[in-house]
Structure 1
């Protein structure tokens, strides 16, 4: 087990009015945006851009599972806690938790599997990026 699997990466996500639905709670799909930003912070935008522009490879969501426990609201500053592990040459699994300020449990949990694909949409081995 590496440090990434034991020490969560922390990322702050501000909840804006546009993130909420008619009841003032974060619209369920917007948590995926918060989690995506956390993963980009982990992998590095420069690394992701280089993978695509130089090597023609990138990541795609293969599978995900989410649990909604305590809806965040407009004005919350969420703490996104993320751990991950590589599963084989082509797949990495991320475990996300969105925590509200002073939350006693995660507001939302997510297990998300990414696969590495070439521009031809075929599986490619995950390159060395330093986060795995």
Structure 2
């Protein structure tokens, strides 16, 4: 066991970076995270489905930092975001105690959906690339619903390209 006094400055700085809401680097959102025991299998390798959990956290923090509060959207407007499609390209495994970043970039802003590219990286190495389409849906019907103007306005600065219907 190490004492607080024995903690190096680098370790303290690293500890202060996690968890949090991440940050924007230009139009790309970066969310740092650490791989915990609960994220891994018996061999200490991240279980494949957990990359989706990491990406979900990053999308939530992206919205939060972009100024979109999901709770009133859900409670007051009766709207929620639901994953319509996701494809994952696994390149290299993450392991117990790895320090990772989920880098999320808005690729397309549609009328009722958002397409994102999310890369999970360790240092300069991309471990997993996730392409995801998230739809805005009405909770009452489960049907697609246009993005509210405030949501669209908050996301437009991050959009790579603007298109019409989704």
TM-score of the two chains, using structure 1 as the length reference:
0.88
Who is 1:23 aligned against?
A: 43
Alignment of 1:74 onto 2:93: no
Higher relative contact order, structure no. (Cα contacts within 8 Å, ≥ 6 residues apart): 1
| Distance across 1 between alignment mates of 2:143 and 2:155 | 23
3-state SS of paired residue (2:48): coil
Find the aligned partners of 1:106 and 1:63 in 2 and give their Cα distance. 21
The CA deviation string for residues 8-40 of structure 1, in whole angstroms up to 9 with x for no partner, is: 111011110000012211000001111111110
Matched with 1:42 is 62
**2:146 corresponding residue in structure 1:** 125
- 1:60 equivalent to 2:60? Answer no
Is contact 1:20-1:74 (8 Å) kept?
yes
Q: How far is 1:122 from its partner?
A: 1.2
2:113 to 66, 73, 91: 91
Question: C-alpha displacement at 1:113, in angstroms?
Answer: 0.3
Q: Aligned pairs, how many? A: 126
Query: For each residue in 1:79-108, what CA deviation from the matched residue of structure 2 results, as whole angstroms up to 9, or x when unmatched?
Result: 1111013342011001000111x34x3001
Contact 1:42 1:131 (8 Å CA) reproduced: no
Gaps of 5+ in 1: none
- With structure 2 as the length reference, what TM-score do the two structures score? 0.71
**Please, what is the CA RMSD of the aligned residues?**
1.8
Q: Which runs of 4+ in 1 moved over 6 A?
A: none
Provide the rounded CA distance (Å) in 2 between the counterparts of 1:7 and 1:124.
25
